[in-house]
């Protein structure tokens, strides 16, 4: 299936130095993909020359002369930078010239501008950021990861619908299981919002597994894990911190003396293969769900390899008909949910 | 300093089979400690015989003929099991016969019964559960870990006071730094409760570091990390899940073929030393803070080794004058906080 994605080439810690070579690499592996490089022409052309690549019908350039800074206020970026590479990329999705857009830029600005430019799908109150995480069994999708810090039960319910739609569009799973992140001790059954969300999910047509606990994420108990953005952001960052700590400890242990260094040399292939398995770059690319267009947020520090996974994610969502699936499910379930919401709050 | 701790011998997945031998071991290493074993005499005496140990002035037995089941309703246990080993242990703290109590039993029941028997310290609305976690730099204390799923800003502020008091009583840190767990992206400044709590903490006399993110926990950015029990429980369980997943991956990689198995044999001492460093048993023993008595919750699945750390934690808190420190700090800061709370909500 022929697709076109727009890349905000200026975003991220490394800008075009990563985004342009990564786009060139991607086209080699996906012969039916087309890419529009969006950003400052001179800079992009310099990167193309450095990579010994040329523009072509499959690799076009779209000029955008402003750049949203990584620490810039999202509100100001939204208001004043109407010709930023980020906004122009989103406009290309809006006009249909591209079916998806990828940015490694300022997360807050991307959330604000994409919502303004693309608008939400009818029935979706708030877009949510979904990431994919490795599990013992395979992988799982978790949302929201920081787009919404205060959520109602209805929002969590919508996240469930969107997460399930995402999974059924990019994986061969017609009815993905959805878990609601909660505290597990029997005596503590979660806060009020989560309890109501569970009720809404239970009454929906979704394949609702029920409450899941923190350890269920990496166990891979369900295909989708739903939580608010506050819990999601903290959970994800805690995981990053723990992984870094364990990596530091392991490195220190192997560096303790000449014997352990020798053991390190012998164990190197195993450690490398372990590292590859947990390499967070392979999970790069968070999906911004609930908008009338496909938007992928790459990690700001992504390198070529990592950015390629974000492009692939965008392509997979386009080919899987993610937007159509979300719209259908939301309209199918939203009447139902309104009725249930009334029943729950009554 | 001569101290006496009461042990709920019947609690936990393994009951007296773990608690009794662990108590005997502990007394060998701490010559100024006395232990009261609380539970069903026949069962405890059988374990003493199996361990070739005898009762003595330092190791006494206090009969309690009921046991709170691990899955029993806390409300029912509170109401009907007035002679449970858990409740009798707490009574010994109340009457002053023991200065601390340790239980590996039903968490919810321990929270409910200890609050009923011991009551909270004046100025503390809700007890909180604090755990110690390893960090790159050393370790950090995190609370609340599940005692309170819905918290106000004032509760989080009190957790900060209690956490700081705990650290200054068991470590050589007169003014421990306190961080408030929050989402870090600039555009998302946390939910309303957290924002108000930050204000209260900022205006208090505590050494308030400011907001910290999930990855700061394992970085060891602050001595204390404060969060509500919902976030705390999920964060802790997610960490457990991630650690298990990584351990599984590493094991699988070493078992891939004969060459990797050989590498595993060579790397064994390094891996074991790594495992020792992250051994969760060494961090066993959560402190239930804010009560008029010292209560330590051991993990239900604790073995002898792990349970010993919970006993040590109780002894350290008694010797460090934890209760006095919390009371002093709470009364010192509570007037201040009331004034600030009014200022914040105004």
Residue A339 has pLDDT above 80, yes or no: no
User: Considering only the top CATH level, what class is A128-280+328-345?
Assistant: alpha beta
pLDDT of residue B187: 40
Residue B129 has pLDDT above 80, yes or no: yes
Residue with tokens 């539970």: B39
Backbone angles phi, psi at A179, to 5 degrees: -115, 150
Residue B171 has pLDDT above 80, yes or no: yes
- Interchain CB contacts (distance < 8 Å): A and B: 215
Residue B340 has pLDDT above 60, yes or no: no
B158-to-A310, B7, B199 alpha-carbon distances in Å: 43, 28, 13
CA distance B125 to chain A (A): 18
Residue A344 has pLDDT above 80, yes or no: no
Within B207-303, residue ranges assigned H as helices are: 214-219, 229-254, 258-277
Fold: same for B3-118 and B128-279+328-345: yes
Mean pLDDT is lowest, of A128-137, B146-155, B208-217, for B146-155
| DSSP assignments along B40-87, one per residue | -HHHHHHHHHHTT---BTTEEEEE--B---TTS-HHHHHHH-TTBHHH
pLDDT tens, residue by residue, A27-62 = 999 999 999 999 999 999 999 999 999 999 999 999
A74-83, A294-303, B189-198, range with greatest mean pLDDT: A294-303
Interface of B with A in 172-211 (CB under 8 A): 181-188, 190-192, 194
B73-to-A187, B79, B110 alpha-carbon distances in Å: 7, 10, 11
Confidence of residue B266 (pLDDT cuts 50, 70, 90): confident
Question: What is the mean predicted confidence (pLDDT) over B120-126?
Answer: 92
> Which of A241, A255, A264 has the highest number of chain B CBs within 10 A, making it the mutation to test binding with B?
A241
Q: Provide, as residue numbers in chain B, all residues whose Cβ is less than 8 Å from the Cβ of A231.
A: 230-231, 234
User: Does residue A7 sit in helix, strand or coil?
Assistant: strand
Question: Which pair of tokens denotes residue B63?
Answer: 């009969």
Dihedral sign of CA atoms B173, B176, B177, B182 in order = positive
Residue B17 has pLDDT above 80, yes or no: yes
Identity of the residue in B216, B253, B267 whose CB atom sits nearest the CB atom of A266: B267
Q: Provide, as residue numbers in chain B, all residues whose Cβ is less than 8 Å from the Cβ of A238.
A: 214-215, 217-218, 235, 238-239
pLDDT tens, residue by residue, A87-112 = 999 999 999 999 999 999 999 999 99
pLDDT of residue A42: 96
Question: What is the mean predicted confidence (pLDDT) over B80-109?
Answer: 96
pLDDT tens, residue by residue, A241-295 = 999 999 899 889 999 899 899 888 888 888 888 888 888 899 999 999 999 999 9
Q: Provide, as residue numbers in chain A, all residues whose Cβ is less than 8 Å from the Cβ of B247.
A: none
pLDDT tens, residue by residue, B285-298 = 999 999 999 999 99
Cβ count near B339 (within 10 Å)? 11
Contacts of A294 (CB under 8 A, 6+ apart): A93, A99, A100, A101, A287, A314, A317, A318, A322, A323
User: CA B113, CA B100: separation in Å to the nearest integer?
Assistant: 15
pLDDT of residue A337: 55
Strand order from edge to edge, sheet including B128-134: B59-63, B33-39, B3-8, B100-103, B294-297, B286-289, B128-134, B139-143, B224-226, B177-181, B207-212
* Residue B138 backbone class (left: φ over 0; alpha: ψ -120 to 50; beta: rest): left
Least CA distance to A238: which residue of chain B? B214
Residue B339 has pLDDT above 60, yes or no: no
Q: Provide, as residue numbers in chain A, all residues whose Cβ is less than 8 Å from the Cβ of B231.
A: 230-231, 234
pLDDT of residue B1: 86
- What is the percentage of chain A residues whose pLDDT exceeds 70? 95
- pTM of structure: 0.91
Is the distance from CB of B154 to CB of B203 less than 8 angstroms? Answer: no
What architecture (CATH level 2) is domain A3-118?
A: 3-Layer(aba) Sandwich (3.40)
Residue A82 has pLDDT above 80, yes or no: yes
Residue A113 has pLDDT above 70, yes or no: yes
ipTM of the complex: 0.88
User: CA B27, CA B25: separation in Å to the nearest integer?
Assistant: 6
Confidence of residue A346 (pLDDT cuts 50, 70, 90): very low
Question: What is the mean predicted confidence (pLDDT) over A101-129?
Answer: 94
pLDDT of residue B279: 87
Question: Which pair of tokens denotes residue B87?
Answer: 């409740």
pLDDT of residue B280: 87
3-state DSSP of A237-296: HHHHHHHHHHHHHHHHHHCCCHHHHHHHHHHHHHHHHHHHHHCHHHHCCEEEECECCEEE
Contacts of A222 (CB under 8 A, 6+ apart): A140, A176, A177, A178, A179, A209, A212, A216
pLDDT of residue A179: 96
pLDDT of residue A172: 84
Interface of A with B in 39-98 (CB under 8 A): 71, 73-74
Confidence of residue A1 (pLDDT cuts 50, 70, 90): confident
CA distance A52 to chain B (A): 37
User: Does residue B95 sit in helix, strand or coil?
Assistant: helix
pLDDT tens, residue by residue, A301-329 = 999 999 999 999 999 999 999 999 999 98
Residue B299 has pLDDT above 80, yes or no: yes
Q: Provide, as residue numbers in chain A, all residues whose Cβ is less than 8 Å from the Cβ of B266.
A: 262-263, 266-267
Confidence of residue B343 (pLDDT cuts 50, 70, 90): low
Confidence of residue A336 (pLDDT cuts 50, 70, 90): low
Confidence of residue B152 (pLDDT cuts 50, 70, 90): very high
Q: What is the mean pLDDT of chain A?
A: 91
Query: Of B182, B177, B175, whose CA–CA distance to B211 is shortest?
Result: B182
Residue A343 has pLDDT above 80, yes or no: no
Question: What is the mean predicted confidence (pLDDT) over B167-172?
Answer: 92
User: CA A245, CA B345: separation in Å to the nearest integer?
Assistant: 39
> Which of B231, B246, B286 has the highest number of chain A CBs within 10 A, making it the mutation to test binding with A?
B246
Least CA distance to B76: which residue of chain A? A187
Confidence of residue B336 (pLDDT cuts 50, 70, 90): low
CA distance A135 to chain B (A): 7
Task: List the beta strands (DSSP E) in A197-236.
Answer: 207-212, 224-226
What architecture (CATH level 2) is domain B128-279+328-345?
A: 3-Layer(aba) Sandwich (3.40)
B251 in contact with chain A, both atoms CB, cutoff 8 A: no
pLDDT of residue A191: 81
Instruction: Spell out the domain ranges in chain B.
Output: 3-118, 128-279+328-345
CA distance B224 to chain A (A): 15
B145 in contact with chain A, both atoms CB, cutoff 8 A: no
Residue A186 has pLDDT above 70, yes or no: no
Question: Which pair of tokens denotes residue A141?
Answer: 């999708």
User: CA B197, CA B163: separation in Å to the nearest integer?
Assistant: 15
Residue B146 has pLDDT above 80, yes or no: no
Confidence of residue B345 (pLDDT cuts 50, 70, 90): very low
Question: What is the mean predicted confidence (pLDDT) over A214-227?
Answer: 96
pLDDT tens, residue by residue, A134-168 = 999 899 999 998 778 888 999 999 999 999 999 99
Question: Which pair of tokens denotes residue B79?
Answer: 């109401």
Q: Tell me, rounded to whole angstroms, the distance of Cα B300 from its chain centroid.
A: 12
Strand partners, A181: A212
pLDDT of residue B5: 97
The angle subtended at Cα B141 by Cα B136 and Cα B145, nearest 5°, is 120
First to last CA, chain B: 48
Confidence of residue A188 (pLDDT cuts 50, 70, 90): low
Residue A207 has pLDDT above 70, yes or no: yes
Q: Which residue has the higher pLDDT, B110 or B334?
A: B110
Confidence of residue B242 (pLDDT cuts 50, 70, 90): very high
Question: What is the mean predicted confidence (pLDDT) over B107-116?
Answer: 94
Task: List the beta strands (DSSP E) in chain A.
Answer: 3-8, 33-39, 59-63, 100-103, 128-134, 139-143, 177-181, 207-212, 224-226, 286-289, 294-297
pLDDT of residue A187: 40
CA distance A307 to chain B (A): 21
Is the distance from CB of A142 to CB of A232 less than 8 angstroms? Answer: yes
Q: Which residue has the higher pLDDT, B278 or B18?
A: B18
pLDDT of residue B130: 96
Is the distance from CB of B68 to CB of B106 less than 8 angstroms? Answer: yes
Residue B135 has pLDDT above 90, yes or no: yes
User: CA B127, CA B123: separation in Å to the nearest integer?
Assistant: 11
CA distance B45 to chain A (A): 32
CA atoms within 13 A on the CB side of B323: 18
């Amino acid at each position: 299936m022929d697709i076109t994605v727009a890349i905000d080439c200026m975003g991220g810690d490394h800008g075009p130095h990563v985004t342009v070579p990564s786009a060139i690499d991607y086209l080699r592996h996906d012969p039916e993909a087309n890419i529009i490089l969006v950003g400052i022409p001179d800079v992009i052309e310099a990167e193309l020359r450095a990579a010994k690549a040329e523009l072509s019908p499959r690799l076009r350039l779209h000029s955008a002369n402003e750049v949203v800074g990584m620490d810039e206020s999202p509100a100001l970026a939204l208001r004043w930078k109407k010709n930023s590479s980020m906004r122009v990329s989103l406009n290309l999705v809006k006009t249909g010239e591209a079916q998806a857009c990828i940015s490694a830029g300022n997360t807050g600005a991307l959330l604000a501008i994409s919502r303004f430019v693309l608008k939400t799908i009818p029935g979706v109150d708030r877009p949510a950021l979904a990431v994919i995480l490795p599990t013992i069994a395979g992988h799982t999708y978790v949302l929201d990861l920081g787009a919404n810090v205060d959520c109602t039960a209805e929002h969590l319910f919508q996240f469930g619908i969107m997460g399930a739609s995402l999974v059924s569009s990019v994986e061969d799973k017609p009815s993905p299981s959805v878990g609601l992140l909660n505290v597990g001790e029997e005596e503590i059954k979660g806060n009020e919002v989560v309890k109501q969300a569970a009720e809404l999910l239970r009454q929906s047509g979704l394949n609702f597994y029920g409450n899941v606990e923190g350890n269920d994420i990496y166990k891979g108990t369900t295909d989708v894990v739903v939580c608010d953005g506050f819990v999601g952001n903290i959970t994800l960052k805690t995981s990053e911190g723990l992984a870094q700590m364990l990596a530091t400890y392991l490195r220190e242990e192997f560096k303790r003396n000449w014997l352990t260094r020798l053991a390190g040399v012998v164990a190197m292939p195993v450690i490398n293969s372990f590292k590859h398995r947990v390499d967070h770059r392979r999970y790069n690319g968070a999906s911004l769900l609930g908008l009338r267009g496909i938007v992928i947020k790459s990690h700001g520090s992504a390198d070529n390899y990592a950015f390629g996974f974000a492009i692939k994610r965008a392509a997979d969502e386009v080919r899987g008909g993610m937007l159509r699936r979300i719209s259908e499910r939301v309209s199918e379930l939203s009447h139902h949910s309104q009725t249930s919401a009334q029943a729950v709050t009554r």
